[in-house]
Amino acid sequence: MTSIFRPGIILVRSRPVAASFSHEDLAQWYLSKHIPDVLATRGVVEAGLHQLNDISRSRLNTAAGLNDEGRFSYLAVYRLWDLNWLHEPDCEFWKLPLVLGTEAGINAGRSVFELAEFDTSLWELFSRPPVTGGVYQLLGECNAIGVCCG
């Protein structure tokens, strides 16, 4: 059977905005709750949290006359086998809990959207390098427009 696979990634830039929610609190939520929840879904094959590099924060900003005020401090990257999964009625991704638990102290029961700002974008794989092995070999042979036969 031939299917059109649309491998891609979801990029989410984030930063805390509430005084009661620190950078450490946001990182803790991602690492102990959100990323494990995301990886438990069937459509996400890899997830990671990246922190803005100190070089970006200091030397480059100083040279450009910028400061860190208002900059996103984290980048979550979620790699998906197929972006089409996000449109399926039973897609678990949209049903993930985004409310902090009792471990969040004074922020327990609050939505993470009240405490942090997020900028989300979806990226579809445009081109694959001509390599053998690796993740895309698992999808089977694919032509230039992403039609794969497994």
Q: Which two tokens stand for residue 30?
A: 């991602």
Is the distance from CB of 139 to CB of 7 less than 8 angstroms?
A: yes
Spell out the domain ranges in the chain: 7-130
Residue pLDDT, tens place only, 84-119: 999 999 999 999 999 998 888 899 999 999 999 999
CATH architecture under which domain 7-130 falls: 2-Layer Sandwich (3.30)
For the entire predicted model, the pTM comes to: 0.74
Name the β-bridge partners of 3: 148
For β-strands 141-142 and 2-4, DSSP reports them as unpaired
Q: Is the pLDDT of residue 142 over 90?
A: no
Instruction: Identify the residue whose tokens are 């471990």.
Output: 103
